[in-house]
Structure 1
């Protein structure tokens, strides 16, 4: 059997304070620190804790050249332990699955630091609302109580700055001011399919296509994309749309069609809650759009590029803002959130790890006439200020 180290990894020294009774009895402060070494790898969802000797041994292993299993019993035991942890891979058929997963990351053209960031920041089975409630960090007042006042909302003004005119007759202003994140959806009213189709046409549909070389095609959409690659795909969780069975769909931007996925969840509502990491105020939206990046499309051009992952997150921002604008113009409410369980999305839509991945979830639907969850609308454009149900500036959100 031959082995080698995984290619993309980092070692993070961790220090956690702990109570030291012996220190108190000896006249000390009673505070000691527990130290450990965590190894984070781009092909592993969870960090691995190892001791200093194993860490040094691991760092001395080649990530490129295969090495034979050492004959020394202790060194052999170290290799087998690190193999079980997934920090080493081998050509032994017994470890074929682990080797294939790590090889997929090697072949993906990720910039190593971005790969580590994406993998290690993905959530699985996280309930962000429960976490906020447990730590009493639900409202802005909670945050101030725990963290103190935030930095100023704007930097200091520059002396002598030139005042700019404001235009009261700006035709875009009313629509822009009506844009507010919706947390209250009307569950008793179905969304007409033509409205959903219009939003998809305005935001995600390919408006034109050009083939620069055989098999090399670029799309023109109403949103910008780095390198004109448009690597984002929309997977839809349809809850309440006229003429459509609830379930999971994929939107094809070139054909402008919705294809129902063959694999459907047994409990759509439960999946919706899990995807949204417990954000129940978004779960009533008529449609969820899970923005999934085909990283291989982006990395075809931007190979091992330090800015590539940043570019696709900007792409997601462009799409979400365009969706807000489109939904608002059509009289709908919309939202976007990055507080999602990416691993759950990967399982639900059959995504290939590190080759495809969810970045954010958008949603849209009819606004409810009753405000049960706080929304940030200080100008009162959505909820009139005189209305006791109106905007609540105390809301913090996840």
Structure 2
């Protein structure tokens, strides 16, 4: 059997404070620091606890060349090698370990910058309920919420005294300004009103459709309404359609060149809300949006050009930001409302749409539909563009 270390792994020396009653009785604070070494790899979801021998071994193992297991016996104890193999940090070339090797091979072939790969893999959520977490946070102390957070940073960063500032002319009214002022994130939806298919088509076209396709050297590129690093446009749109005329509730992928929906699976109407809630990590104010759209980055699309690049992941995040604001404006133009959230259960969404996190990773969820006529959840509308200001 031949082995090599996994392609990407970072080590974190973590300290946790743990309550110990005996320490309190002995006159201490009752808090005892527990320290451990943790391995965070780009091919495994779990954080792996290491002992000192395993930590040393990871620094001795070959990363690229396959080496016979027997040849390592003189340097690393057999028990340590066996443990690292069991934990998935040591990769073997035997059929029994084919699944874990395939995950590691995928990372090797994706041209990720190591730091970006580990950050992406280990910042994903699964089964998180943000409302339940907020309730638990409130139970931990009787102190007011703002008091616990401490003083906030200033709203504006000021780099010169007021007298030294050069006043600029304000832009006049325009259709674009009116659209910007009307854009208000929605938390109240009218589930009794179905979204017209034409509205769905218009928002998707304005946001995601290719206006033109051309051949660049070695790769096809398209022109969208937004910029993208290298013109590569790696962001895909996956839809959960809940309440649209002429489109059955279910899962879809948007084809930006054909301007068409590709059906991926039907969802019973009664299960749509539960699926939506699972996707947006329990944020009930987004549950009833008529359409939810998962924004997922095809990492290999961008990494084809920007290999092991320190800015590649950042560029893909920017891509999602451009698209979400364009969706807001496209929805507002039709008299609709929209939202965007990064507080999502990425791992649950990957299961729903059969996505591999290191090839096509979830970045955010956006959505749109008809706004309700009552404020049940507060919306930030200081201009009174949607909800008239009392008095």
Q: 1:109 aligns with which of 108, 111, 119?
A: 111
Q: Displacement, 1:217?
A: 1.2
**Correspondence for 1:165:** 169
**Correspondence for 2:61:** 61
1:286 aligns with 2:290: yes
Q: 2:222 aligns with which of 219, 240, 244?
A: 219
Deviation string 1:211-264 (CA, Å, 9 cap, x unpaired) is 134x62110011111100011111111000001110001110000111111475
Residues 262 and 29 (structure 1 numbering): CA distance in 2 closer, same or farther, change over 3 Å?
closer
Residues 275 and 30 (structure 1 numbering): CA distance in 2 closer, same or farther, change over 3 Å?
closer
Q: Displacement, 1:167?
A: 4.0
Residues 101 and 158 (structure 1 numbering): CA distance in 2 closer, same or farther, change over 3 Å?
same
8 Å contact kept, 2:7–2:63: yes
Greater mean deviation of Cα atoms: 46-55 or 99-108: 46-55
Gaps of 5+ in 2: none
Greater mean deviation of Cα atoms: 20-29 or 376-385: 20-29
1:343 aligns with 2:347: yes
Deviation string 1:188-218 (CA, Å, 9 cap, x unpaired) is 00000001111111111000111134x6211
Residues 348 and 162 (structure 1 numbering): CA distance in 2 closer, same or farther, change over 3 Å?
same
1:386 aligns with 2:377: no
**Correspondence for 1:393:** none
Residues 26 and 194 (structure 1 numbering): CA distance in 2 closer, same or farther, change over 3 Å?
closer
**Correspondence for 2:211:** 207
Greater mean deviation of Cα atoms: 72-81 or 203-212: 72-81
8 Å contact kept, 1:69–1:76: no
**Correspondence for 1:392:** none
**Correspondence for 2:2:** 2
**Correspondence for 1:88:** 90
Residues 23 and 131 (structure 1 numbering): CA distance in 2 closer, same or farther, change over 3 Å?
closer
Residues 253 and 37 (structure 1 numbering): CA distance in 2 closer, same or farther, change over 3 Å?
same
Gaps of 5+ in 1: 388-398
Residues 271 and 154 (structure 1 numbering): CA distance in 2 closer, same or farther, change over 3 Å?
same
**Correspondence for 2:231:** 228
How many residues align? The count is 383
**Correspondence for 1:295:** 299
**Correspondence for 1:318:** 322
1:273 aligns with 2:277: yes
Matches within 5 A, 1:33-44: 33-44=33-44
TM-score by structure 2 length?
0.93
Distance (Å, rounded) in 2 between the aligned partners of 1:285 and 1:29? 49
Matches within 5 A, 1:68-87: 68-70=68-70, 71=73, 75-87=77-89
Question: Alignment partner of 2:239: what SS?
Answer: strand
1:237 aligns with 2:240: yes
Distance (Å, rounded) in 2 between the aligned partners of 1:180 and 1:373? 13
What CA RMSD, in Å, does the superposition of the two structures yield over aligned residues?
2.1
TM-score by structure 1 length?
0.91
Question: Alignment partner of 1:361: what SS?
Answer: strand
**Correspondence for 2:102:** 100
Residues 142 and 176 (structure 1 numbering): CA distance in 2 closer, same or farther, change over 3 Å?
farther
Q: Displacement, 1:336?
A: 0.5
